Structure 1
Amino acid sequence: MDLSIKMFSDIPSVVRHHWNAGNINWPMGIYITLVHVVGLVGVAKLVECSKETLMWAFLLWPISGFGITVGVHRLWSHRSYSASFPVRFFLMLCNSIANQGSIYHWARDHRVHHKYSETDADPHNAMRGFFFAHMGWLYLKKHPEVIRAGKELDFSDLHEDPVVMFQKKLDPWFALYMCFVFPAQIAVRFWGESFWPAFFVAGGLRYMIVLHFTWFVNSAAHLYGDHPYDVVSYPSENTYVSFFAVGEGWHNWHHKYPFDYAASEFGISSQFNPSKLFIDILATVGLVWGRKRGTAAWDMGRARRERDREAGVPLPKPTPRPWEAISAIKQE
């Protein structure tokens, strides 16, 4: 269901159900729980950190965020633009700081998500509710349909990229180092910070927060917001998610035109999208090229919608989500 008091009150019964069914992914579940323990220790360590370390932790938000948005999402998952080797290597490092799984595995699951969005084959199917789409899916074994779908898609382009394979070969140790230890080493080396406060704040706390920012794209942006481009698609335009996820909340557009490198209709002047701005800057200096856009397709789609409107054809409506259908039945 959506984000509500009932969602939280139902968590114990849902946990019991999956416990009895043997669906719990123990290694990942333990890891995600430990991540939050480390993050909470980071909260306690905030008072021990210098202002330089706090600023460094803040800067690691967009740095690691670009590793997801500019890198594994728009470049490697959707191939919405092409990038030179130095850019790909830099984005791989940023992605490793983000530590959300290797580029290969992230892109594999994301391509499955787009092809089978809001079905059993979707790794974080929002039809199963806010909590599942946000982080619950990581605590459970993958649905058999997700596994089947992942075996059917072509990932040869990822195998052919040496940067992707380099990171995959070192997974997960390189990402764990870049996520937790590297930020602390920078703080120790350049402004004399103590290692452990930097480890828990610039590493653990920042990591936990950015994880939730990314997860909001799967949960909040699939449940709350406007649907101006595809009225029967559940992904929505969510300004708040766009801010926290450095430009990834314009989700109705993105699911309509996943090949668009901007993942939004407009640029930074109209929609918060620093990820698009960063790609544009790289293109200006010739480090990326072949940026694809969905604006021409939308111009034609908008013209068709206007013709239908003038002819009195109503816009279609999305199928109610399970909890919406139950609520409608109760109100009858």
Structure 2
Amino acid sequence: MAKSSEVEDNATLNSEIIPKKIDKENRSQTISVYDQIRPKNEGSFMSTVREWEKMAGFKTPIVWINTIAISLAHALVLVSVYFLIIDGRYYPKWQTIVFQCLSIVLTTFGIGAGAHRLWSHRAYKAKLPLQIILVIGYTMAGMNDLYQWVRDHRVHHKFSETSADPHDANRGFFFAHVGWLMTKKHPDVIREGKQVDMSDIDNNPLIQFHLNKIMPRENWVVSFFVLGEGWHNYHHTFPWDYKAAELAFPFNGTTNLLDLFAKIGWAYELRVAPPSLIEKVAKTKGDLSYHKE
């Protein structure tokens, strides 16, 4: 549940960042959020593009390298679907299909159980062998480095649906899911990201190895299958619950895998919201659709 200090922070950040004012030749002029973080000295062509972005209503400048890379990734998926399903002339070997399925499970497990539940929320503890598996899975997913993922997610929870939220839902469905990867961060996001406590990540040797030796920055790939990461409301109510969801099987593959590793002792001290607390919150603040396991 949100602490009172977090509620106050949210209230403060519900409005856009206060525009800076400058005085030039005795005239008061307002600098927009867009212009505050607009790249400088990009040349005449990009200056024209930036003016178009402003007229189109973008709050922050587009990062075109990310936008092109993400668009191409989705285009390749559509092309692959065409050749595999519609055209029918190309069909992968069964070994390729098995490898792909295992890769999907490993990468989503690395994101959900690793970056999200273990390192962002510390919802459970993991021994080194499991941490290595999680780092490998996360790295294979091709996302940003772990430090940035954890930092942005902690800021997202503290300032959810405000201008300091990296994927602020108030800026629309597309922005909240994909668009935030295609634009520069709002100044509020940058400011609060510098304040969030990341000492546990800084002091984790495995993550530091991942950051310094393995993971390149700005390497974006969108994941379609999330293995139990979609229970947004429950997770925001109980972010420390390792399940990240009210229900487990069959809709929470990451939880099922964590339970498996818990049985062999590689995952332990799994934190869970007590059923009595869930029921109490559901009755007082929920939509009366509480499900008992």
TM over 0.5: yes
What is the Cα deviation at residue 173 of structure 1?
4.2
Match of 1:152 in 2: 195
The answer to whether the 8 A contact 2:60-2:186 is kept is no
Q: Deviations over 1:162-183 (max 9, x none)?
A: 111111113544997xxxxxxx
- The answer to whether the Cα contact below 8 Å between 1:97 and 1:175 also exists between their aligned partners in 2 is no
Which of 254, 257, 265 aligns to 2:235? It is 254
> Judging changes above 3 Å, is the alpha-carbon distance between structure 1 residues 39 and 67 closer, same or farther for their aligned structure 2 residues?
same
Aligned position for 2:170: 127
Q: Normalising by structure 1, what TM-score? A: 0.62
The aligned residue for residue 264 of structure 1 is: 245
The residue type equivalent to 2:281 in the other structure is G
- Give 1:213-228 correspondences, 5 Å limit: 213=224
Contact 1:246/1:275 (8 A) holds in 2 = yes
Map of 1:236-247 to 2, 5 A cutoff? 244-247=225-228
Give the one of 48, 51, 68 matched to 2:94. Answer: 51
Choose 244-253 or 144-153, whichever is displaced more.
244-253
**Residue in 1 aligned with 2:18?**
none
Aligned residues: percent identity? 39
Q: Is the Cα–Cα contact under 8 Å of residues 145 and 217 in structure 2 kept in the other structure?
A: no
1:23 and 2:61 aligned: yes
SS of residue matched to 2:72: helix
Instruction: Tell me which of 278, 284, 287 is aligned to 1:298.
Output: 278
State the shift of 1:16 in Å: 5.9
2:207 to 145, 164, 176: 164
**Does the Cα contact within 8 Å between 1:96 and 1:175 map onto a contact in 2?**
no
Structure 2 gaps, min length 5:
1-50, 85-89, 288-293
Distance 1:316 1:265 in 2: 12
SS at match of 2:178: helix
- Contact preservation (8 Å) 1:65, 1:246: yes
Deviation at 1:36, TM superposition (A): 2.9
The TM-score, its normalising length taken from structure 2, stands at: 0.70
Amino acid at match of 1:160: N
Q: Return the alpha-carbon distance in structure 2 between the equivalents of residues 52 and 252 of structure 1.
A: 38
For 1:264 and 1:171, the matched residues in 2 are separated by 31
Instruction: Letter of the 1:298 partner, please give it.
Output: I
- Residue of structure 1 in register with 2:261 after alignment: 282
What does 1:106-145 correspond to in 2, within 5 Å? Answer: 106-145=149-188
Q: Does structure 2 retain, via aligned residues, the 8 Å contact 1:99–1:175?
A: no
**Is the 1:65–1:98 contact (alpha carbons within 8 Å) kept by the matching residues of 2?**
yes
> Quick one: distance in 2 between partners of 1:49 and 1:263?
35
| Aligned equivalents of 2:59, 2:278: Cα separation in 1 | 45
Whether contact under 8 Å (1:75, 1:81) holds in the other structure is yes
Q: Distance between the aligned counterparts of 1:14 and 1:126, measured in 2?
A: 23
- Kindly indicate whether the alpha-carbon contact (under 8 Å) linking 1:121 and 1:143 is maintained by their aligned counterparts in 2: yes
Whether the 8 Å CA contact 1:120–1:146 is kept in 2: the answer is yes
Gaps of 5+ in 1: 1-12, 177-206, 214-243, 306-314, 318-332
Would the aligned equivalents of 2:53 and 2:61 in 1 still touch at CA under 8 Å? Answer: no
Distance 1:98 1:297 in 2: 35
Moved more, 259-268 or 153-162: 259-268
Residue equivalent to 2:72: 34
Count of matched residue positions in the alignment of Structure 1 and Structure 2: 231
Aligned amino acid, residue 103 of structure 1: L
- The residue type equivalent to 1:297 in the other structure is L
**What RMSD over aligned residues (CA atoms) do the two structures have, in Å?**
2.9
Tell me the CA shift for residue 212 of structure 1: 4.6
1:73: Cα distance to partner? 0.5
Residues 18 and 24 in structure 1, CA contact (< 8 A), matched pair in contact too: no
The residue aligned with 2:39 is none
Tell me what 1:85 maps to: 128
